[in-house]
Amino acid sequence: MMIRSCCASLAILMLMCLDAFAQTYAEQVISDGAIHYWRFEETATDQLAKDEIPDQPANGSVPAQTNNPGLYEGGVTLGVPSAFPGLGKASRFDGANGTHVALGTPQHPGDEITVEAWVNLDVDSSSSFAPVIARWDGSYELDVTAELNDFLQFPLRNDVNGFAGPNSDQTMSRGEWHHVVGVYADEMGTVYLDGVPGNSIALSGVLGDAGGDDGLWYLARTRGPDSGFAWDGVLDEIAIYPHGLSEEQINNHIAIAMRPVRPSGDFNGNEMLDTDDIDALSAEVRAGNNVPEFDVNSDNFVNDQDRTVWVTVLKGTWFGDANLDGLFNSGDLVTVFSAGKYENGGNADWGEGDWNGDRMFGSGDMVLAFADGGYEAGERPMAAAVPEPTFACAVWLTMLWALTRRRL
């Protein structure tokens, strides 16, 4: 994705600031007040394109909000990778007549609007206007215009047919992901390409409330269901807001999308699974609060089964692997006994031998580790069965006793 250096620098700074927050991209879009939001996470085109924003009743001067799923039609491919992992999946549209998402007539945003999306236009797209979302020519359309050297454009009409066509100051590179936004607020239209504002054009009066040639709205299409103006490429995360997003909010969305996805089981947010994480999970198991973040096997409970999944599946290692290098060997035993906490009643963590999560290092930890079958077995195979204790277990327990006696 091409983003100007100033925008990239801003995004990096925001990434650092956002580390303390768990807000996902979708959560931020919803928090910023979207009234329609299509994420394209469906697995089959006979499913409706889900609108993530539920129905909401009228509240004072705020009108009722209507959920509006769309209908996939034509050559749509689902499950395509999006711009960043945190955005999930996207949809590819083949640009042919009849390929689009038919929206019917969603709730009109009112006299202010923001339209936002992530887009990737194919390099060989032949459409002179490649629309992301449109209710043209009665209201608005966010598109990439080949006739304007692939500038991003946000044509607008008011209710007396007045027109404004703000566009970006730079070309949108084909074959690359871009974040695109059209804003109409305070009687001014502006587009943002990768967080960079283009020109602003005034349009007074009331934003039009009419659909395309057939009165309907479309994703990846404009004017009508069989018009030649269609999107040839990938679209994702299309949202509509009944107000203007600020430049700060727009760049915040980009920064959140770029943020690496935290691995499951990474409770301290350092993008790795380490001893701090398993110790935190063990503490939650002991507390018995069933905090959803720690429910790694999604059974609505936080217990020893979650610890087992964290160790054997998420981390892919063995009980007894004190340094979490993927192996359980003599080096781990030397490490934990050197800490001097075996059977002394003192608090111990994973790296000091607390493998069963009771905050102590004792014989129960050794039994658990050797029963897991990983001692000197190399890396843990995928989906390996848990073996029964073997003769080696008894041998090493005898050695353990000898080692501890030597330390006394």
Give 21's pLDDT tier (boundaries 50, 70, 90): very low
pLDDT band at residue 224 under the 50/70/90 scheme? confident
307-364 residue pLDDT tens: 999 999 999 999 999 999 999 999 999 999 999 999 998 899 999 999 999 999 999 9
Round to whole Å and give the CA distance between 154 and 140: 7
Whole-structure pTM value = 0.67
What pLDDT is attached to residue 386?
A: 39
> pLDDT at position 6, please?
41
Distance (Å) of CA 181 to CA 117, 195, 267: 7, 8, 33
Tell me: pLDDT of 184 over 50: yes
Q: Can you give the pLDDT at residue 393?
A: 45
* Measured distance CA(267)–CA(117) in Å, rounded: 30
- The band of 404, judged by pLDDT with boundaries at 50, 70 and 90, is very low
The pLDDT, as a whole number, for residue 65 is 82
Mean pLDDT computed over every residue of the chain: 87
pLDDT at 405 over 80: no
pLDDT for residue 384: 41
Across 74-206, the runs of DSSP E, i.e. the strands, are: 76-81, 89-94, 100-104, 113-121, 129-134, 141-145, 151-153, 156-157, 163-164, 167-171, 178-185, 188-193, 196-202
Residue 107 pLDDT: 83
Q: Would you say residue 13 has pLDDT above 50?
A: no
Residue-wise pLDDT tens digits, 247-304? 999 999 999 999 877 778 999 888 789 999 999 999 999 999 999 889 998 888 999 9
> What is the 3 state secondary structure string of 240-276?
EECCCCCHHHHHHHHHHHHCCCCCCCCCCCCCCCCHH
Q: What is the pLDDT of residue 288?
A: 94
* pLDDT, position 260: 78
Total Cβ atoms within 10 A of residue 125:
18
Looking at residue 245, what is its pLDDT? 98
Residue 273 pLDDT:
94
Q: State the average pLDDT over residues 40-52.
A: 96
**What is the mean predicted confidence (pLDDT) over 197-207?**
95
| pLDDT value of position 389 | 40
pLDDT digits (tens, 9 = 90+) for 74-110: 999 999 999 998 899 999 999 999 999 999 988 888 8
Strand partners, 76: 93
Confidence of residue 369 (pLDDT cuts 50, 70, 90): very high
| Closest of 175, 134, 128 to residue 151, by C-alpha | 128
Where does the pLDDT of residue 394 fall: very low under 50, low under 70, confident under 90, or very high at 90 and above?
very low
246-259 exposure pattern, b = at least 16 Cβ within 10 A, e = fewer? ebebbbbbbbbbbb
Q: What integer pLDDT is reported at residue 283 of this predicted model?
A: 96
Quick check: 132 and 108 in contact, CB under 8 A?
A: no
What's the confidence (pLDDT) of residue 153? Answer: 97
